Amino acid sequence: MKELTCLYCFETFSPSEVVFRCMNPDSKACAPEQDEMLGKYQRKIGDSPILPRVVEPSKNLPTKPNKGWDKIKGTLSSNRSQMLAFAICQCGFKTSKRLCPHCHNELPRQFGETDSHTIALLGTIESGKSHYITVLIHELKKHVAADFNAAFSEMDDQTIKRYKEDFHKRLYINRVVIKKTASARTDISVRYPLIYRLSIEKKKQIQASSMVFFDTAGDDLEEMDKMETETKYIARAQGLIFLIDPLQIPQLRDRVRDRNVLIPREIIDPGHIVTRLANLVRDSSGIAHDAKIDTPIAFAFSKIDAVLPFMQPDTPVKWDSNHGGFFDLEDFEQVNESMHDHLANWIGRGFEMFLRHNFTNYAFFGVSALGSAPDESGQIRKGIAPHRVVDPFLWVLYKLGKIKGSKGSQAPLSFEI
Ligand SMILES: Nc1nc2c(ncn2[C@@H]2O[C@H](COP(=O)(O)OP(=O)(O)OP(=O)(O)O)[C@@H](O)[C@H]2O)c(=O)[nH]1
Ligand SMILES: [Mg+2]
Ligand SMILES: [Zn+2]
Ligand SMILES: [Zn+2]
């Protein structure tokens, strides 16, 4: 039987275990109740939200059976692998609002119909994760549609609201930097991933995947092994994008200091997070300590705009990338090699040696979400001019077999989902 994985809590369940929330608008006929499971997910224990009743179709026999009930009973007993389209509450009201049986978050309408891919974003505090995700999503909406004949759209209301208010408004409307991400221990919105549907028309058929992104606080990643949901999503991610902040590398930090560039307050060694990441994936996936992890992991130097002056003049990362309908492998190989050499110069060989001994599928990139440094008051006066932000994401899709790669101009114009 096909198991489903919740996009919010990452627990797995069979389709018939899905529960529902009553949609009866009359709260006198069906009194709202405290939802402790959702309260637990939102870390509001003792202060759980009061919401319309949860309907468990397998347990909840309606007191007033109506026409729909026979159909539900039939479906439940005959086919456990089917997800019910609706359920009937004890109050007799029919509802189609599906919830995860483990965390009681509402499941997006297309949930279960598409493959789901979690792409986790990692990096030290202030490495640029929130800016990167904001610009990546903006670029994917703009270019994926044009270059790949595909559509990229939000899958749930939470994503629309959070992207618009927390991310898009600040960068693209107010032109100010995004605030530091609060710990998921204190801010529940941080616990909610951004969920998108990527769909493409291929041979007159629409093929879709859901893409789940988490913008975790660097503070939480420092203690990732203590965070239950975060641990699950990182360990179960199909692809990882790991941002390395060049401005936290002591050698480069000293050189940019006199160029009027804002430098992060703290220096945190990306090696610590990578070591924890490897342990976490191994422990939760049962991978032996001498076996390598094969999850694709893209190491991207963020804020590359700030360090380009210190890179070799002919470094390929200076050029714009152009993946017109395919992943450009020639460009990828040149950038990967060049960034790999820079990594060795800037951080030393130890980091790469650790990667080589622990991962099979990794590559190096250089990205800039903003294109230039914001000023000291956090204003982005020069406007947002992203550079190569889609490269690591497209590489992950390529590694997952979702898009085709090509060398040179004989590019196949297809985007396979
Ligand atoms: N020069 C340059 N600076 C950037 C860029 N992106 C982000 N920054 C700077 O880096 C700072 C931190 O970026 P965030 O995206 O908030 O970093 P984060 O990794 O989300 O940090 P936490 O939420 O604390 O984990 C921003 O306030 C900007 O000043 C970029 O593309 N270029
Ligand atoms: Mg952040
Ligand atoms: Zn869940
Ligand atoms: Zn009801």
Mean pLDDT of the 336-350 span: 89
Task: Report residues whose beta carbon is within 6 angstroms of any ligand 1 atom.
Answer: 123, 125-131, 177-178, 180-181, 217-218, 262, 303, 305-306, 368-370, 373-374
Note whether 270 and 360 are same-domain residues: yes
pLDDT in tens, 174-221: 999 999 888 777 776 667 889 998 887 766 777 788 888 888 787 777
- Do residue 87 and residue 121 come from a single domain? no
**Per-chain mean pLDDT for the chain:** 84
Q: Which of 42, 75, 99 is the last residue of a domain?
A: 99
Q: Express each pLDDT in 280-304 by its tens digit.
A: 888 877 888 889 999 999 999 999 9
178 CA closest ligand 1 atom index: 16
Choose the weakest-confidence range: 20-29, 46-55, 138-147.
Answer: 138-147
Of 226 and 39, more confident: 39
* Site to substitute for ligand 1 among 126, 244, 307, most atoms within 8 A of C-beta: 126
Question: Looking at the predicted structure, is the pLDDT value of residue 98 above 70?
Answer: yes
**CA of 32, nearest ligand number:** 4
pLDDT at residue 78 is higher than 50: no
The pLDDT score that the predictor gives to residue 77 is: 44
Tell me, what's the pLDDT at 267?
66
The reply to whether 412 falls in a domain is no
Domain shared by 132 and 42, yes or no: no
110 part of a folded domain: no
Q: Give the nearest ligand 1 atom to 123 CA.
A: 19
Point out the ligand 1 atom lying closest to the alpha carbon of residue 373: 1
Between the CA of 211 and the centroid of ligand 3 the distance, in Å, is 16
**Which of the listed residues 44, 65, 99 is the one where a domain comes to its end?**
99
For ligand 1, atom 32, the nearest C-alpha belongs to 303
Residue 262 confidence (pLDDT): 66
Same domain as 87, residue 130: no
Task: Give how far Cα 264 sits from Cα of 126, 129, 170, 218, 280, Å.
Answer: 7, 13, 20, 13, 27
High-pLDDT (> 70) share of the chain, %:
85
- Does some domain include residue 11? yes
Over residues 347-355, mean pLDDT:
87
Evaluate whether residue 319 is within a structural domain.
yes
Asked if 18 and 98 touch (Cβ cutoff 8 Å), the reply is yes
Going by CA atoms, what residue is nearest to atom 1 of ligand 1?
A: 373
Residue 107, in any domain of the structure: no
Q: Tell me: do 297 and 149 sit in the same domain.
A: yes
Q: Considering just the CA atoms, what is the radius of gyration of the chain in Å?
A: 23
Q: Within this chain, do residues 66 and 133 fall inside the same structural domain, yes or no? A: no
Residues 247 and 349 in one domain: yes
- CATH number for the domain that contains residue 300: 3.40.50.300
Check whether 271 has a pLDDT greater than 90: no
DSSP reduced 3-state for 365: strand
Distance 128 CA to ligand 1 centre (A): 3
Nearest CA to ligand 1 atom 23: 181
Shared domain for 310 and 381, answered yes or no, is yes
Ligand with minimal distance to 127 CA: 1
Is residue 37 in some structural domain?
A: yes
Number of domains in the chain: 2
Q: How confident is the model at residue 259 (pLDDT cuts 50, 70, 90)?
A: low
**For residue 124, what are the domain limits?**
115-406
Pair 74, 158 in one domain: no
Query: Do 361 and 241 belong together in one domain?
Result: yes
Average pLDDT over residues 239-252: 87
CA–centroid distance, 373 to ligand 1, in Å, is: 9
Same domain, 154 and 288: yes
Ligand 1 atom showing the smallest separation from residue 367 Cα? 31
The token duo for 188 is 């529940």
Atom of ligand 1 nearest to the CA of 219: 25
Position 194 in a domain: yes
Does one domain contain both 135 and 224? Answer: yes
Res 415: pLDDT: 39
